Structure 1
Amino acid sequence: MQQTAITLAQETADDWWEVEALYDLCFAPGRSALSSYRLREGVDPIGPLCLTARDANGILAGAVRNWPVLVGGQQAVLLGPIAVHPTRQGEGVAAVLMQRCLANARDLGWSRLMLVGDAPYYQRFGFERLDGVTMPPPTNPDRVLGIALSEGAWDSVTGMVTSLRD
């Protein structure tokens, strides 16, 4: 894996369209139809956890957004989407975004994060399958992963993931 110099910053309103274009490029055209998007509708993302990664020329290399959700009535962060421009993949951009995101969440007092993704990839950051946590259908339960940012943060937290607007 080649390392590259990137600068991380909190996403601003001026970044919005560029980040959206990156998500359109990296994910299927129907990405907004996924159940995780239903959880985000009408809810503001957690600003300090929405990050951009830019190279020395200011070109967007990657981005991540995070949203507050409830799991069985308990607050959690729904991490994602996280994306890296196809020309920048393999350079460690996603890992840098993920590590900063986890550190920022911990610093802000969040105790639990979750995402929908591939366990073999996200395990290296400490994510594990969340038994008893259910995303709205048609999410595969094996892809519902979480990380405790404080000891026991996921202990006894089970139930449906719901939006803060519900």
Structure 2
Amino acid sequence: MITIREEAVSDVPVREALLDRCFGERRFAKTSERLREGRLPAEGLALVAERDGVVVATVRLWNVDAGGRDALLLGPLAVAPECQGEGLGRIMMREVIWRAACRGHGAVLLVGDAPYYARFGFSTEPTRDLALPGPVERERFLGLELRDGALAEASGILAATGRLLDDGVDAIRQAA
């Protein structure tokens, strides 16, 4: 049985090991990583999937400014190699999109395989006037409006707007 839940602080080392298994060190060189560095994921939108108490998938959304519009940047989505092909990536995508919409967010952006993400409604149309702060293949820069017009007239380079990592560490210390 698979359980999807919000990521806990104790999941961080396991999540990082899963990401290393799926993407290796090249994940740190990606343009999207520039928007995640030193930031915390969007509140309530860092998810893990567990099977028998073992983390087997992860997805996170990050707050960004998309040319004057608030949006979320997805990534990375990772499924343990031994679980790939079981539809877990699809389940994680649907869950995180649903949770983002329930929290009132208007749009999700990502860099990824267009044929895979098209099944969730992502296309290049919402990102036509947007850019990332580094190189990216245009056909892989995709968007999904959760609310009609959420990216209307959005143009420019994405910028990180989420909570700083230090803010999160302080919040964790205060809660302890």
TM-score, normalising length: structure 2: 0.87
Q: How far apart are residue 34 of structure 1 and its match?
A: 1.4
Structure 1 residue aligned with 2:22: 26
Give yes or no for the alignment of 1:10 onto 2:9: no
User: What's the CA shift string for 1:2-35, capped at 9, x where partnerless?
Assistant: xxx3100000000001001101110131211211
Give yes or no for the alignment of 1:141 onto 2:118: no
RMSD: 1.2
More helix by share: 2
Q: How far apart are residue 47 of structure 1 and its match?
A: 3.4
Poorly superposed stretches of 4+, deviation over 4 Å = none
Residue identity opposite 1:44 in structure 2: L
Aligned length: 160
Structure 2 residue aligned with 1:37: 33
User: What's the CA shift string for 1:35-73, capped at 9, x where partnerless?
Assistant: 111111122111311000011x11111011111011112
Structure 2 residue aligned with 1:117: 112
Aligned partner of 1:46 among 24, 42, 45: 42
User: What's the CA shift string for 1:55-112, capped at 9, x where partnerless?
Assistant: 1x11111011111011112211001100000000011111111101011000101001
**C-alpha distance in structure 2 between counterparts of 1:93 and 1:158, whole Å:** 33
Give yes or no for the alignment of 1:103 onto 2:101: no
Give yes or no for the alignment of 1:83 onto 2:78: yes
- Give the gaps of 5 or more residues in structure 1: none
The answer to whether the 8 Å contact 1:112/1:148 transfers is yes
Identical-pair percentage: 41
Residue identity opposite 2:25 in structure 1: P
- Give the gaps of 5 or more residues in structure 2: 163-176
